[in-house]
Amino acid sequence: MKNTVKSLFLTVTLAVSAAVTAQAQTKIGYMNANLVLADMTEMKAADSELGAMSSQLQKQDSLKVMDFQRKYQELAKKEQEGTLSPKQLQDESQRLEAEKAEITKFEQEMTKRLQDKRAQLYQPIYDRVNKAISEVAKEKGYAYVIDATAGSILYADDANDLSVAVRAKMGLPPLVKK
């Protein structure tokens, strides 16, 4: 019985020791993804295209809103002057409410279109960066890579910063220290 207890104790000790050793060997790296994305020509082109689309849609929205405001002011003026019958006022008010609902619908569609375009433009870029991060992490033996962009890393040894290696993997110029 003593041999069984000793044997069990030895087995548990070895298992715990192996688990602690394995955990101690897990490498965690970090990088600042924004430093990679900021220098990518694809990202700059995507930002430009998205900005142009946003400006165009906002211009259309502004024209619709200005037209609505003009019609609303005209109706208010006619109502103040008493040139409309109650039935005409009701009909015009209903038309303006319908136009207001259409503007709201357009703005919601505009937001959806911009979100869809953003995903269409950025997803291939993110996929490319993620692939490079995965390749560098595997090459350097890292089990995890954390993005330092959010600023949630309280301490990090610069030796574990993979930003430079990922930039090199993607053919981007080295960072210039400021």
Residue 6 located in a structural domain: yes
Residue 19 located in a structural domain: yes
Residue 72 located in a structural domain: yes
How many Å apart are CA 90 and CA 130, to the nearest integer? 58
Residue 164 located in a structural domain: yes
pLDDT at 30: 87
Indicate the length of the chain as a whole number: 178
pTM summary value: 0.70
Residue 175 located in a structural domain: no
Q: 86-141, pLDDT tens digit by residue?
A: 999 999 999 999 999 999 999 999 999 999 999 999 999 999 998 998 899 889 88
Residue 178 located in a structural domain: no
Domain boundaries, position 81: 2-169
The C-alpha torsion from 152 through 155 and 159 to 163, rounded to 10°, is: 20
Q: What is the DSSP string of 22-55?
A: HHHT--EEEE-HHHHHTT-HHHHHHHHHHHHHHH
Count of domains for the chain: 1
Please name which of 165, 175, 161 lies closest in space to residue 129, comparing C-alpha atoms: 165
Residue 176 located in a structural domain: no
